[in-house]
């Protein structure tokens, strides 16, 4: 049954307050026969670590997701549990009644930085470890990563890190976590190739990378994880079936159901169906396209549109896409080779990922198809295609530099065709629109998602989401991977499908969720504030620094320099300097008056005083000059007073 999205506002919000309900009987013949899956053991030499002393903490009081007005208790560390040599209480079906803890540290109510911890007793496994790109207001910030403090405090419990696929929002934070937590990483061949490249960039060595294939199982502590192939916009994407002491969990990862994928590898739906037949306690499912009805189109549709673009182009073709979208890059390569065009990869990240994917067999290039910088200018316009980054308007990407005439090797000209083979990630719409405008001003023919189907999403829509629910038949449901409205829409789809409202959990980053056979509820919180990465600095840029950067960018800087003696008496100046506030030559009267205001403020503070606190003097200058400048200009630049102490002879 379709979810009535128009009436979502009138529906009650799904919660995690749960009631017991009988599992529906599995329809016969739903799952196809599946051979026994191979089990991969944890690497030797990495025994289970003992729990560190001082970890024990009184359990936080439980609350349900319905109790939104109650503030959850902060947990500074993991709860101490007896080693598994002690017998656990068993419930129905031999399942433990000790709750499993699920702790999302990112990826909820946002796009990006996906990471979730699963904890039982002395064992923790981590699923994905990505970063997010900064918003426009985060000036100077390179990346946003999750707060890993909970995992660092419990690092001796971490048995392994499971990566569903190789996109940056799932692997980008690994170097930052691995500097603090040592654990093996499990993932597909291409995924681990991209991870190794990232670790090399950060000069991190000694990490065990274990390659996994479809159907293989990994035993990590009390957890057994089966990898199940899914379709996505990158090869080697997997969902996970996690067997835990309380029951089975299915985590879809990022997925869609493509019956005609470019690489010919279809989603392993039979593995999902088998999990459903054997019993799924909790389904955690991709919510990115939860507000879109129907099915996500196949990648084959994109190939047809791209081929039409190449057929119509009389000059150069420049295709911008994600460097990690290996299938899309292969599509462009195949069409270019068919139509006799040479291929040039523009940009370091694009070239490196193509190199890695080629070495691993995920990209196929005919001999002589690729050209380098030196040959590019000697080719006729209708003999070349340029594949580059910049589909999201990233400031330093290839397409953006081309649009600004800043690219070292490629200068756009009238007659070129630019194909933006991606849709904007939420928050990037303005940047992408600006790039398109600049391209049109150059006389370039621009093709993008609004004008032709040159991109399809790698995420499932509502009908695919309901199909996964039908196959897995979960008792509890938790939407993941999406902004809040995506999660809520997915929850309504689950209710429309037939999952009871009280069995649906719409969680937040940092929630400590406790799962048993009969309940699923919020029991506390851990730190989960975003950590900002600026160059080599991690977490040293906070809201105050960001606010100063925003003011500097919008209002400018006004510096007041004064030389005073040891008693605070003015010896020379004050002088003023403006940067990004006013044009000095056109504002001499304003600058002179600001000097007078600063001098009066200094005289007022030092009058009759033998000794003056520099802090009080700076504060008086800042306040007086700020008020004057605002009254004159209605702007608030950053006021920076600089006091230099000199002796009466003018020496410092």
Q: How far apart are CA 418 and CA 321, in angstroms?
A: 11
Measured over the CA atoms of residue 239, residue 241, residue 244 and residue 249, the dihedral's sign is: positive
**Statement: residue 182 has pLDDT above 90:** yes
List of residues 6+ apart from 595 with CB closer than 8 A: 573, 574, 575, 576
Q: What is the mean pLDDT of residues 504-520?
A: 97
The CB density around residue 361, as the number of other CB atoms within 10 Å, is 10
User: Nearest 5°: CA angle at 458, between 455 and 461?
Assistant: 105
| Residue 553 parent element (H or E) | helix 543-555
pLDDT of residue 31: 40
Q: How far apart are CA 218 and CA 43, in angstroms?
A: 10
Token pair 């079936």 is found at 241
What fold characterizes domain 556-645?
A: Ubiquitin-like (UB roll) (3.10.20)
Q: What is the mean pLDDT of residues 177-200?
A: 95
**Statement: residue 529 has pLDDT above 90:** no
Sheet strands side by side (includes 511-515)? 209-211, 185-187, 158-162, 123-127, 115-120, 100-106, 511-515, 520-525
**Strand runs labelled E in 201-294:** 209-211, 217-220, 223-230, 237-244, 247-251, 282-286
| Residue 612 parent element (H or E) | none
Q: How far apart are CA 216 and CA 184, in angstroms?
A: 16
pLDDT of residue 610: 62
> How far is Cα of residue 295 from the mean position of the Cα atoms in its chain?
24
The percentage of the chain sitting over the pLDDT mark of 70, rounded to a whole number, equals: 79
Q: What is the mean pLDDT of residues 38-58?
A: 47
pLDDT of residue 552: 64
Closest CA to 620 of 639, 637, 633: 639
Q: What is the mean pLDDT of residues 611-633?
A: 83
pLDDT of residue 453: 92
Q: What is the dihedral angle through the alpha carbons of 565, 566, 569, 570, rounded to the nearest 10 degrees?
A: 30
**Statement: residue 51 has pLDDT above 60:** no
Name the β-bridge partners of 322.
Answer: none
Q: What is the mean pLDDT of residues 217-236?
A: 96
Which CATH entry fits the domain spanning 100-294+457-538: 3.20.20.70, 2.40.128.50, 3.40.50.970, 3.60.15.10? 3.60.15.10
Q: What is the mean pLDDT of residues 576-594?
A: 79
pLDDT of residue 67: 35
**Statement: residue 521 has pLDDT above 80:** yes
Confidence of residue 550 (pLDDT cuts 50, 70, 90): low
Q: How far apart are CA 202 and CA 176, in angstroms?
A: 9
For residues 418 and 437, the answer to whether their CB atoms sit within 8 Å is no
Which CATH entry fits the domain spanning 299-447: 3.40.47.10, 3.40.50.10710, 3.40.50.1220, 3.40.50.2300? 3.40.50.10710
- Mean model confidence pLDDT for the chain: 83
Which residues belong to the active site? 286, 459
Predicted TM-score (pTM) of the model is 0.74
Confidence of residue 537 (pLDDT cuts 50, 70, 90): very low
pLDDT of residue 54: 38
DSSP structure class, residue 259 = S
Pairing of β 384-388 and β 317-320: parallel
The CB density around residue 454, as the number of other CB atoms within 10 Å, is 23
For residues 184 and 209, the answer to whether their CB atoms sit within 8 Å is yes
pLDDT tens per residue, range 254-301: 999 999 898 889 999 999 999 999 999 999 999 999 999 999 999 889
3-state secondary structure at position 467: helix
Closest CA to 91 of 475, 518, 476, 520: 518
Tokens read off for 383: 């003999």
For residues 66 and 504, the answer to whether their CB atoms sit within 8 Å is no
Name the β-bridge partners of 543.
Answer: none
Radius of gyration of the chain (CA): 29
Q: How far apart are CA 259 and CA 295, in angstroms?
A: 11
Q: How far apart are CA 549 and CA 632, in angstroms?
A: 23
3-state secondary structure at position 52: coil
Closest CA to 419 of 443, 442, 459, 451: 451
**Statement: residue 427 has pLDDT above 60:** yes
Kindly list the domain boundaries of the chain, sorted by start residue: 100-294+457-538, 299-447, 556-645
The CB density around residue 181, as the number of other CB atoms within 10 Å, is 19
Name the β-bridge partners of 387.
Answer: 319, 345
pLDDT tens per residue, range 132-142: 877 665 555 66
The DSSP secondary structure of 574-588, one letter per residue, reads: EEEEEESS--GGG-H
């Amino acid at each position: 049954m379709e979810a009535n999205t128009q009436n979502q506002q009138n529906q009650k919000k799904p919660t995690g307050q749960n009631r017991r309900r009988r599992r529906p009987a599995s329809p016969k013949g739903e799952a196809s026969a599946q051979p026994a899956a191979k089990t991969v053991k944890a690497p030797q030499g990495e025994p289970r670590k003992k729990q560190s002393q001082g970890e024990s903490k009184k359990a936080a009081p439980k609350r349900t997701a319905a109790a939104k007005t109650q503030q959850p208790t902060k947990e500074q560390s993991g709860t101490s549990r007896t080693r598994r040599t002690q017998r656990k209480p068993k419930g129905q079906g031999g399942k433990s009644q000790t709750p499993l803890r699920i702790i999302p540290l990112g990826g909820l109510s946002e796009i990006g930085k996906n990471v979730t911890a699963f904890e039982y007793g002395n064992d923790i496994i981590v699923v994905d470890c990505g970063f997010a790109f900064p918003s426009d207001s985060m000036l100077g910030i390179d990346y946003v990563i999750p707060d890993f403090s909970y995992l660092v405090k419990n690092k001796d419990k971490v048995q392994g890190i499971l990566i569903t696929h190789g996109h940056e929002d799932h692997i980008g934070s690994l170097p930052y976590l691995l500097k603090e937590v040592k654990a093996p990483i499990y993932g597909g061949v291409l995924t681990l190739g991209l991870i190794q490249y990232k670790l090399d960039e950060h000069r991190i060595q000694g990490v065990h990378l274990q390659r996994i294939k479809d159907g293989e199982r990994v035993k990590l502590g009390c957890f057994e994880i089966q990898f199940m192939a899914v379709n996505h916009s990158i090869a080697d994407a997997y969902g996970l079936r996690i067997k835990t002491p309380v029951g089975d969990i299915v985590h879809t990862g990022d997925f869609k159901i493509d019956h005609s994928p470019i690489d010919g590898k279809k989603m392993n739906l039979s593995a999902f169906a088998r999990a459903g037949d054997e019993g799924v306690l909790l389904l955690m499912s991709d919510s990115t396209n939860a507000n879109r009805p129907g099915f996500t189109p196949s990648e084959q549709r994109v190939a047809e549109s791209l081929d039409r673009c190449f057929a119509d182009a009389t000059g150069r073709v420049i295709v911008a896409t994600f460097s990690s979208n290996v299938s899309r890059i292969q599509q462009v390569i195949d069409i270019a080779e068919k139509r006799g065009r040479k291929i040039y990869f523009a940009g370091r990240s694009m070239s490196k990922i193509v190199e890695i994917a080629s070495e691993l067999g995920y990209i196929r290039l005919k001999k002589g198809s690729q050209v380098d910088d030196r040959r590019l200018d000697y080719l006729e316009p209708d003999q070349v295609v340029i594949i580059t980054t910049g589909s999201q308007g990233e400031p330093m990407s290839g397409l953006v530099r081309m649009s600004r005439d800043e690219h070292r090797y490629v200068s756009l000209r009238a007659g070129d065709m630019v194909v933006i083979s991606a849709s904007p990630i939420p928050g990037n719409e303005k940047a992408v629109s600006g790039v398109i405008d600049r391209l049109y001003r150059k006389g370039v023919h621009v093709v993008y998602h609004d004008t032709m189907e040159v991109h399809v999403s790698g995420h499932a829509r509502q009908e695919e989401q309901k199909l996964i629910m039908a196959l897995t038949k979960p008792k509890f449901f938790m939407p993941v991977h999406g902004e809040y409205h995506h999660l809520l829409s997915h929850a309504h789809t689950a209710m429309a499908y037939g999952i009871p409202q009280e069995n649906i959990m719409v969680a937040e980053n940092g929630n400590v969720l406790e799962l048993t056979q009969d309940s699923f509820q919020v029991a506390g919180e851990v730190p989960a504030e975003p950590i900002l990465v600026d160059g080599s600095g991690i977490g040293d840029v906070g809201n105050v620094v960001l606010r100063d950067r925003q003011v500097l960018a919008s209002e400018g800087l006004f510096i007041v320099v004064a030389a005073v003696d040891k008693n605070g008496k003015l010896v020379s100046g004050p002088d003023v300097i403006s940067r990004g506030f006013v044009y000095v030559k056109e504002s001499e009267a304003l600058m002179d008056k600001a000097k007078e205001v600063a001098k009066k403020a200094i005289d007022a503070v030092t009058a009759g005083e033998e000794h003056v606190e520099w802090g009080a003097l700076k504060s008086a200058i800042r306040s007086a000059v700020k008020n004057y400048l605002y009254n004159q200009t209605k702007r608030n630049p950053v006021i920076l007073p600089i006091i230099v102490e000199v002796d009466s002879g003018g020496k410092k």
